[in-house]
Structure 1
Amino acid sequence: MTAAMERPEFAPTVVSMRDHGAEQVSERLLKSAAQLSRNAMTEIDWSLPMDPTKYGCSPEWSSLYGTDYWDELTEEQRIALTRHEFASIMNIGIWFEMILQELVLVDQYNGDYHSAEFQFALVEIADECRHSLMFAKASEKMVGTSYHPHPRIAKAGKYFKTIARNEIAYAGILVAEEILDVFQRGCMRDERVLPFIRTVNEIHVLEESRHMKYAREQVRDSMREAGPARRGYSALVIAAGAYLIVSSLVQPKAYADAGLNVHRAMAARSTNTHYHAMIRSGCVHLMEFLDEVGLLTKPALRFYRRAHMI
């Protein structure tokens, strides 16, 4: 396994919280947030010029790395490609973080204001607002172009918001954050990557580790009362959502903006076994968790295989 595929943890936030219950988990996460939260708007000097030799992400995480097309590119083209790819990923992250915020708000709409669970939900929403602003600022600086999901995918996201409750909402959150998390962990300590992008990755990984712990506990609590029919339905909706997210990360426009032939780039990505293996390796822990809580059914597996997540 390459270094880019490893998942190093931030020691201060790695605490075993399994089966402690959402309230106790939230209490610990509130303390962690108070001690470790960061702000990219003040921590990063956005006025510094970019080193033209630095990538937007580790080359190994490019969707074209390992293909004949990648081999034909000049170093300058590879750098431009990774910058536009990661800008696309950050912009799609903004899109889903906006969905996430709405799901959490709806879930806690009539919650117990004095509970740790309710209060951490507000912390999570505040974190996501800062993350979206951070991603917007970073992508603007790096490429000056914004990316959005295909209109059909955006419409599907609106529909997802109307049906996503309980385990569907929190497992959907977990799937999206896990996918972005493993990508960023693979790039955040790579000195070939732009320094401010490494800091963006570090901040997001640190704070999303809390969000993912919270989401896992919410899913566990919700699944304790789920019967076979509900479990099957939820598993299928979550898997379909995961497929849409993974397939949307790098938009075709990113290839065009990097000066590549879009059709050739999309064809190369679709058959890129290296890229598929990177995604699959990064989703191992996610698949184990979904299996643990009964959300890795046979129909759901079809979507995960199509997305190369398993």
Structure 2
Amino acid sequence: MAIETTADPLAGQTKKARQLLVSSSRHSYDPRLDIDWDAPLVEGKWFLPEKRCTLYSTPIWDTLTLEQKIVSSREEMASSIGLGVWTEHMLLHMVSRYIYDRNVATPQVQFALTEVADEVRHMIMFANVVEKMGSEVYLTPWRIRESGRLLKSVVPVAALWALILLTEEIFDQIQREVAADETVQPLVRTMSRIHVVEEARHISFARTELERFVPQLSKARLSALRTLLALSIQTFSQEFFNPLMYSRAGLPASARKEAVANPYVRETFSSAAERITTYYRSLGLIGGSSARIWRKAGFLKADSRD
């Protein structure tokens, strides 16, 4: 896929920021008001589309009652929301770093400030949805939190936007499916719809930033960024199978092992990542040894070329 460029990338970035500021003023939500928190959960509705549950079609899945499957989908959604809260927190820290030395009067900085405000609302919305679902908040594992302390403080700007896209694009694809699935709880669908609409702006701005920064990287810095992204997606794939979500759903310890080996999960990963992997390849952010890490983690299809 060819990347369109302008004669003046900075002018293009400024134009995009102005457009997104207008969009933000017209199409933003306040979850406190735009979600009906008093509405009861709907009996028999899923919290995640059945085919996106990590145990779907495994031997253990076929032994569960419908009620047990729905509880399992609830805990998986709560676990993914916990990862989403951590991701949003990381992103708002890094976007704040982007803002720190820049002119607050510029459209770019003003949109970045708008993005920080969006992320704060999303974190609160996610926490309230978990509570309303009847689950508990899932804290990010200690080793991820500790590595994040360093990452959010020292990651270069180009890596900032690449990491934003890495997480937001994958969650975006899954949440689009959730928002459209009428078998899913209305509460979860509304949460997903709000997040999709507002994150679309963040994704668009991050792409504009990347298309300006990446061509300026030296071969060594580009290689380092490739490695960072590949290791990040590898970590994401490992943390996706949180053992706690299976135990909270009342499932045996063997459940996680079956989920990790489930081919349907790899299909979920690769389909959710298809847009971002295509885009990263167009920028040279996936290739060589990094592509092999992406493929091993399940986010590149086995027949795709490096």
CA deviation after TM superposition for structure 1 residue 167, in Å: 1.6
Check if 1:72 corresponds to 2:58.
Answer: no
Check if 1:303 corresponds to 2:293.
Answer: yes
| C-alpha contact (below 8 Å) 2:241/2:259 kept by paired residues | no
Check if 1:186 corresponds to 2:183.
Answer: no
| C-alpha contact (below 8 Å) 2:74/2:135 kept by paired residues | no
Aligned counterparts, 1:240-259, within 5 A = 240-259=231-250
Match of 1:5 in 2: none
Identity of aligned residues (%): 31
Mapped partners of 1:218, 1:273: distance in 2: 35
| 2:261 aligned to which of 271, 277, 290 | 271
Gaps of 5+ in 2: 7-11, 301-306
* TM-score of the pair, normalised by structure 2: 0.92
Mapped partners of 1:51, 1:194: distance in 2: 6
* TM-score of the pair, normalised by structure 1: 0.91
Mapped partners of 1:231, 1:111: distance in 2: 24
Match of 1:155 in 2: 146
Further displaced range: 88-97 or 147-156? 147-156
Match of 1:288 in 2: 278
Distance 1:205 1:250, change over 3 A: farther
Mapped partners of 2:154, 2:290: distance in 1: 17
Further displaced range: 287-296 or 238-247? 238-247
CA deviation after TM superposition for structure 1 residue 99, in Å: 0.6
| C-alpha contact (below 8 Å) 1:56/1:86 kept by paired residues | yes
| 1:52 aligned to which of 36, 43, 51 | 43
| C-alpha contact (below 8 Å) 1:44/1:196 kept by paired residues | yes
Match of 1:7 in 2: none
Over the aligned positions, Cα root-mean-square deviation in angstroms equals 1.4
Distance 1:64 1:18, change over 3 A: farther
Mapped partners of 2:169, 2:255: distance in 1: 25
Mapped partners of 2:237, 2:88: distance in 1: 14
Mapped partners of 1:249, 1:303: distance in 2: 16
3-state secondary structure, aligned to 2:100:
coil
Distance 1:157 1:117, change over 3 A: same
| 1:100 aligned to which of 73, 91, 95 | 91
Gaps of 5+ in 1: 1-16
CA deviation after TM superposition for structure 1 residue 92, in Å: 0.9
| 1:142 aligned to which of 133, 145, 153 | 133
Match of 2:81 in 1: 90
| C-alpha contact (below 8 Å) 1:19/1:217 kept by paired residues | no
Q: What is the letter of the counterpart of residue 281 of structure 1?
A: S
Match of 1:19 in 2: 5
Mapped partners of 1:18, 1:74: distance in 2: 51
CA deviation after TM superposition for structure 1 residue 249, in Å: 3.2
Mapped partners of 1:125, 1:200: distance in 2: 18
- Number of matched residues? 293
Q: What is the letter of the counterpart of residue 292 of structure 2?
A: R
Mapped partners of 1:249, 1:158: distance in 2: 20
Mapped partners of 1:26, 1:19: distance in 2: 16
| 1:200 aligned to which of 191, 203, 207 | 191
CA deviation after TM superposition for structure 1 residue 255, in Å: 0.8
3-state secondary structure, aligned to 1:218:
helix
CA deviation after TM superposition for structure 1 residue 18, in Å: 4.9
CA deviation after TM superposition for structure 1 residue 28, in Å: 0.9
Mapped partners of 2:283, 2:153: distance in 1: 23
Q: What is the letter of the counterpart of residue 5 of structure 2?
A: D
| 2:165 aligned to which of 174, 184, 208 | 174
CA deviation after TM superposition for structure 1 residue 143, in Å: 2.6
Distance 1:302 1:154, change over 3 A: farther
